[in-house]
Structure 1
Amino acid sequence: MFEEIKNGNFGVLALLPKLAQLIILLCLSLGVALIGSLSYLYFTDKNAEFEGLIGTEVTLLARIDLLQKVRNTIPQYEAQEKEANIVLADIKKRLPTESELVEFNKNLDEIAKKNGVSVMRYIKTADGEVSGFVKSQNITLSGCATYHTFASFIADLSSLDRIITMESVTIQNNRIGMAEDKYITTECSESGETSFPFSAVLTTYQYIE
């Protein structure tokens, strides 16, 4: 009889007493319920595992995408850094160091002599202002020049590969006199053409090591 039930012939159950039929049906129902519960738990666990794998994959893909974006921007940042270093190098080149200031003063002498300008100067190091890696260096110029030679002096001075500003420029319209400079007094000597006392404050910028 059990062999026939196993083969799917449930008609033989009708030959059994009612109590036996009830017990067998109850056992079958419990078996089916147990199998269904186990199957539900199995597939639920597998679904959670699958969702976890999907979440991990999404996270990994997001990280890969972020790394790719970072990798793509590296050449751009390197190019910007290279350009910034070139600009900074050019700025430093035009900012004389302490030792290069001596050369700068020598250039002033050469330009003055080239243009027939008689120049004395006074360096006011105490007035230099420090800002980051830059220190301003004020040089007070005072001397004798004609309007023409002074203009040529300024033009040649601006051709130096240095950052230079000039202010407080005065030229007195008298042949022998005193330049308006509280540090230096210059008397202009007799010359073939009229020369006038002048004074100016020249500022260059020193690179601080």
Structure 2
Amino acid sequence: MANQDFPSFSSLYAHILTLSPPLSPPPKPTSPSLTPKIASLSLHPTLEAALHILNNDLPSAHFLVRHMQAAPAYEGMFLHGILHRIEGDFDNARAWYRNVEESEVFRQTWGVGKGEDEEEIKGLERARDFISRVEGFVKRKAGDRDSLGRQSISEINSVVEFCRRKFGEGEVRDASDAFVQDDERTREIKQSMLTGGKGFREF
């Protein structure tokens, strides 16, 4: 399987979905041989980052999402939060989710659901509950790994499908339009984390 060719996004995506779902901090990519195959497709950076995340290759994904951490790159910002959730940096994940809660991609993924008492729960609340359940599993082995893994895949799949529709799955020869400069707020957060005594937020 390691030498299998994947000539298109669809074929590679279908294969990656057969791998173990990304849920807790991985020691290494699930399939290191897939990293160059993903990169060779020259996809839109959000799709490439999502495939790296699904392959538990967080360094490769992080390289891409760090260039998409301000509006209007909400898809990359959301993936940044998902990456930190998998990485085990749960407070950082919550911050990124909060930053994109009003975006179309986040609303499509988390929308509004029903709680145990059948009251409506806003998307950010549902997403934060999921992060907390993953955190409980990682730190205390509380919860069902299979169920959490399925929800992790469902969340990432929703972002992937949104990006497929928005950006297409063909080759992107020049991805510079997808990358954005940090906005003033992001620059201020970075500076305060480094010098303001508020702790370090890993961007």
The bucket for the TM-score relative to the shorter chain is under 0.3
Under a length normalisation based on structure 1, what TM-score does the superposition of the two structures give? 0.19
Under a length normalisation based on structure 2, what TM-score does the superposition of the two structures give? 0.19
* Larger fraction in strand: 1
Structure number with the bigger relative contact order (C-alpha 8 A, sep ≥ 6) is 2
Could you say which structure has the larger radius of gyration? 1
